Amino acid sequence: MHKPTLSQQITAPRRNVTLLVLATLVLAGCFKVHVTSTSSTDVNINGHRIITTTHNGITRKLDSAAEIEIQNGHVTKFSKPALVKIEEIGGPEPRQAELRENADTLELWIKENGSFRKGSPEDESWLERFLSEVTKK
């Protein structure tokens, strides 16, 4: 029968102690595991293009009967008449909005207290982030 050497005798307990220390640290919350989840759909239903993405608990939905193209966070092409419904839920500030066609451009309207108001420059920044997230591949 083979007798373990002194280094082999020391290595096994050291490995067990190392595993025990790592397990204790994980259970104590010193090492946090972050799980991200992402899902995305882009479908046409009865002439409506519906894009829905969920990333880390935030769901973004875009619904449009008009043909639209989005690049780099901006609508670059749209057919007339255009009305694009937008919704973001699960984040720090849930929002509903619409992009409405007016004089060959799309204007951002934000739903607030049951009615719509014209979007501010801060809202436009949010819209750009929203569109970038919705179209991320």
Domain count, the chain: 2
- What pLDDT is recorded for position 16? 61
- What pLDDT is recorded for position 90? 93
Residues 14 and 48 in one domain: no
The range of the structural domain enclosing residue 14 comes to 1-33
Q: What is the mean pLDDT of each run of 10 residues along the chain (137 residues)?
A: 58 57 54 69 91 94 93 91 95 94 94 96 96 89
DSSP alpha helix (H) spans, the chain: 6-28, 121-134
- What pLDDT is recorded for position 74? 93
Residues 51 and 117 in one domain: yes
Is the entire prediction scored with pTM above 0.85?
no
Cα gap 133→129, rounded to integer Å: 6
- What pLDDT is recorded for position 37? 79
